Structure 1
Amino acid sequence: MPYSSDVTGKSAEITALPLDHLALRGGDEAPALVLRSGVLSWQDLRTRVARLAGWLKNRLGEAAFGGEHGPRVASWAAKGELTCLLPLAAARAGCIHVPINPLLKRAQVAHILADSGAVLLIATPSRLTTLEPGDLPDGCATLEEAGALALSETAPPLAPSQADPHALTAILYTSGSTGRPKGVMLSHANLWLGAESVATYLGLQADDRALAVMPLSFDYGQNQLLSHWYVGGSAAPLDYLTPRDVVKAVERHGITTLGCVPPLWVQLTEAEWPPETAAKLRRLTNTGGALTVDLVRRMRTLFPDARLFAMYGLTEAFRSTYLDPSLIDTHPTSMGKAIPHAEILVVNDAGGIAADDEEGELVHTGPLVAQGYWRDPQRTAERYRPAPQGSIYGGMAVWSGDRVRRDADGLLYFVGRRDAMIKSSGNRISPQEVEDAALATGLVAEAVALGLPDARLGQAVHLVVRAVPGAEDAEGLLPKKLAADLPNFMQPKVIHWKETMPIGPNGKLDRTGLFEEIRAGLEAQA
């Protein structure tokens, strides 16, 4: 079933199929998924997706499919057969997949389950045991990962779906600068065309194999699988502990595509790479933060035969730009140009298309734009607004809040971020979520979370707090309580204790003043 957009121009050439049709792309005996337990061929992949989809359909029952959207099925597990196949199986069954970052802890998971209205959570036993009474929404059942896979082995297979490509098939939760994570609604077409777009500009072939090191709850983490499956290629999911694990996996599995966030690239360039192992990589991709000039040079020296793709994106529109590898040496700080199926505009403060080298807001239009935030019309209206005049695609656009400029050659450069969201080690962290966790301990009266530049993390979380008067051993207890309540990537690198918190002219806590004070202190120590 083709995807037909309601806009004119180049979008008329775009087609998409139901997401589960990705299971039909490769040759029967060719490898599709490389797991610890063995290699799944494309025929194995087709069989297991069909049976997992059939089991889901029967397990949930017809009544679960009677609403406006399909039933939400959440997964909370490390990378493995279930987490890799569930996006396709859920799509075939008519469910909406809600992948949960395995690094999250019970408080964040409880919010996602309640907000999405999940009816089923499939997770590893160790994660399920951390949930407390009240963490599951009414009507949400739980099942261990191994049990779900075992039950699906004998389930009647479900035929490929004929779903409307516009239909909702996944909700990915992402953090903003304020509040708890919000669910980005993705259609079959969003994910299908995202896979096609990335496969196209990366030049993927059927003999390519990705090492999937990024979490599958991230848009690009999931796309590592989908883009390679689009061309009939394969992927090897890896939950690594050390950079050496990545090096060994590249050698063992014959990896040709490696995508990472900048902090991991820093670690990998410090690792020992046998020349014959480094030579296996055909392409390197970066997302989740900008590459520095020094890091680009190190990567180009270590992997001289690999093509290096610098990329920029946001979950609300999947991916926006990439830099042609032929330009990485001469323009290492550029975001590049629009990816296939995307139109990227720079809109100045007057609402018009910015001139060359004029700063403006990055606005993304086209069929990769998601359907908004799940059950959150207010925040949807803030971020998703009509495309500006001059857009080829028209329709609804994502107004990113990021400030960029475009040079005379059409190359984009990042200027700054309008919101205060912290990006650490490729993770998007809501300052308010960290602050709420600190206040919930009862040890502090005020809290401000900031992202400070960090050579290895991109940004490190610094937490500025004022203790509750009379609180005993607040400085000793707060780090322990935060360690129990927040995932590792949200933990403050430094906690700064204040007798009084500075107030700005608007009567609010002076975040800018605190940021400048801490940054100056860090620079003085350097």
Structure 2
Amino acid sequence: VRAWAANQAAPDAAVLAARRAIDADLAAILYTSGSTGKPKGVVLSHRNMVAGARSVASYLSITPADRILSVLPLSFDYGLSQLTCAFLAGATAVLLNHLFAKDVLKAVVEERITGLAAVPPLWFQLCTLPWPQDCTLRYLTNSGGAMPKTTVASLRAALPRAELFLMYGLTEAFRSTYLPPAELERRPDSMGRAIPNAQVMVVRPDGTPCAPNEPGELVHRGALVSLGYWNDPVKTAERFKPAPGQDPALPLVEMAVWSGDTVRMDEEGYLYFIGRSDDMIKVSGYRVSPTEVEEAVYATGLVDEAVAFGVPHPQLGQAIVLLALPKDGALAGAALLKECQRRLPAWMVPAHVTLSREAFPRNPNGKIDRKILRLDYLTMFDTISGNTQ
């Protein structure tokens, strides 16, 4: 084994002197979680990172008095944001490599934490813990997936003094939207509006704007748009395309991130997530969002975790499979399926339900790994024998 330093060529002093670093230069490469394919390296400039930190720190009102608990991987843009926001505002960042949810509660109390960011699977666990009435938490943030209304209600009951910010972001553009806490009561299923210094549009495939409540693709433009995918011009061209609605008199084209996510925008400009284009399930011609199915299942109050996905079906095109972690081990799959039939249109009712006794696998960013779970069910309808277990 040889030392790393001994095998590196010494840089030429003249080259170093001539190289001037500016804010447009590469600062970091963050790899996506790979939930819809092979992970891609998102190239971030210094400008991207500073603009992102400034935007998020402004609407969270982070000050030097804040103490932010960092529990998410720093390779995850949402996790890294806890550090960049703290550095920008002069706040304190406390790093925690936790094993159990109770470790987070202990750190919040001992370190007098004021800000906490997590993803839905972790919030599911945290909202059930015995939080002290005099908890120092000032704000909570959620990203990396939609938070079920039942979890929102539980968190607000457990931590009534903390403001809850529901957010949506892309690694390719860092953070895109947030819902002000004052709007949470009126629109608990909304992902909010564009963050400061960003424009978020909902467009049709030809780039024309969608009408209010018309589903379309979310497109993000502004200073947070990254420099593309490292060493992958083909994938970059698929996701980074000219921003819609540009003045044709402008000779240089501004690039925007076309997210691949289907959303709708209401008359007041608030956005609502429908689903990833890659995740949408097509059952007998109907397009079904797995998020809508999961939300209905959480609303039953019978499960701690739920994940829905589509698998090939010889007659329907695709069929919906639901996996759930019940709160009560005595719950039967047939009982949960009956609740789904009561709450959902016929084409959205799962064709198969499996109840798990263990928490679902996570990807490196802490999200439920839908892709891995789906692999075991790809051929289950080859003989058209859907059932419940």
How far apart, CA to CA, are the structure 1 residues paired with 2:72 and 2:36?
Answer: 24
Quote the RMSD (CA, aligned, Å).
Answer: 3.6
2:97 to 221, 239, 250: 239
Deviation sequence 1:369-413 (CA, Å, 0-9, x none): 000000000000000000011589971000001111111111111
Gaps of 5+ in 2: 282-289, 298-302, 313-362
The answer (yes or no) to whether the contact 1:365–1:394 under 8 Å persists in 2 is: no
How far apart, CA to CA, are the structure 2 residues paired with 1:65 and 1:59?
Answer: 18
Superposed displacement of residue 175, structure 1: 3.8
Superposed displacement of residue 358, structure 1: 1.5
After superposition, the Cα gap between the structure-2 partners of 1:63 and 1:462, relative to the gap in structure 1 and judged at 3 Å, is farther
How far apart, CA to CA, are the structure 2 residues paired with 1:299 and 1:498?
Answer: 36
How far apart, CA to CA, are the structure 1 residues paired with 2:79 and 2:14?
Answer: 31
After superposition, the Cα gap between the structure-2 partners of 1:356 and 1:183, relative to the gap in structure 1 and judged at 3 Å, is same
How far apart, CA to CA, are the structure 2 residues paired with 1:172 and 1:405?
Answer: 28
Aligned residue in 2 for 1:290? 146
The answer (yes or no) to whether the contact 1:262–1:286 under 8 Å persists in 2 is: yes
How far apart, CA to CA, are the structure 1 residues paired with 2:108 and 2:181?
Answer: 21
Aligned residue in 2 for 1:346? 202
Aligned residue in 1 for 2:264? 405
Superposed displacement of residue 351, structure 1: 2.4
Q: What SS does structure 2 have at the residue aligned with 1:185?
A: strand
The answer (yes or no) to whether the contact 1:176–1:421 under 8 Å persists in 2 is: no
Q: Residue type of the partner of 2:87?
A: W
Aligned residue in 2 for 1:170? 28
Does residue 1:208 correspond to 2:66, yes or no? Answer: yes
Q: What SS does structure 2 have at the residue aligned with 1:311?
A: strand
How far apart, CA to CA, are the structure 2 residues paired with 1:362 and 1:65?
Answer: 46
TM-score scaled by structure 2? 0.71
- The 5-angstrom pairing of residues 332-481 of structure 1 reads 332-389=188-245, 395-420=254-279, 453=294, 456-457=304-305, 459=307
Aligned residue in 1 for 2:185? 329
How far apart, CA to CA, are the structure 1 residues paired with 2:127 and 2:79?
Answer: 21
2:50 to 184, 188, 192: 192
1:250 to 108, 126, 132: 108
1:267 to 125, 129, 135: 125
How far apart, CA to CA, are the structure 2 residues paired with 1:61 and 1:183?
Answer: 26
After superposition, the Cα gap between the structure-2 partners of 1:497 and 1:182, relative to the gap in structure 1 and judged at 3 Å, is closer
Q: What SS does structure 2 have at the residue aligned with 1:316?
A: coil
How far apart, CA to CA, are the structure 1 residues paired with 2:31 and 2:184?
Answer: 31
TM-score scaled by structure 1? 0.53
Q: Residue type of the partner of 1:326?
A: A
Superposed displacement of residue 359, structure 1: 1.4
Superposed displacement of residue 180, structure 1: 2.0
After superposition, the Cα gap between the structure-2 partners of 1:247 and 1:396, relative to the gap in structure 1 and judged at 3 Å, is same
Aligned residue in 1 for 2:77? 219
Q: Which has the higher helix share?
A: 1
How far apart, CA to CA, are the structure 1 residues paired with 2:12 and 2:130?
Answer: 52
Deviation sequence 1:123-166 (CA, Å, 0-9, x none): xxxxxxxxxxxxxxxxxxxxxxxxxxxxxxxxxxxxxx962100
2:173 to 313, 317, 321: 317
After superposition, the Cα gap between the structure-2 partners of 1:58 and 1:246, relative to the gap in structure 1 and judged at 3 Å, is same
The answer (yes or no) to whether the contact 1:177–1:419 under 8 Å persists in 2 is: no
The answer (yes or no) to whether the contact 2:68–2:86 under 8 Å persists in 1 is: yes
After superposition, the Cα gap between the structure-2 partners of 1:275 and 1:371, relative to the gap in structure 1 and judged at 3 Å, is same
Gaps of 5+ in 1: 1-55, 71-160, 423-449, 465-485, 504-513
After superposition, the Cα gap between the structure-2 partners of 1:251 and 1:395, relative to the gap in structure 1 and judged at 3 Å, is same
Superposed displacement of residue 456, structure 1: 4.3
After superposition, the Cα gap between the structure-2 partners of 1:63 and 1:254, relative to the gap in structure 1 and judged at 3 Å, is same
After superposition, the Cα gap between the structure-2 partners of 1:389 and 1:401, relative to the gap in structure 1 and judged at 3 Å, is same
Aligned residue pairs total 312
After superposition, the Cα gap between the structure-2 partners of 1:283 and 1:178, relative to the gap in structure 1 and judged at 3 Å, is closer
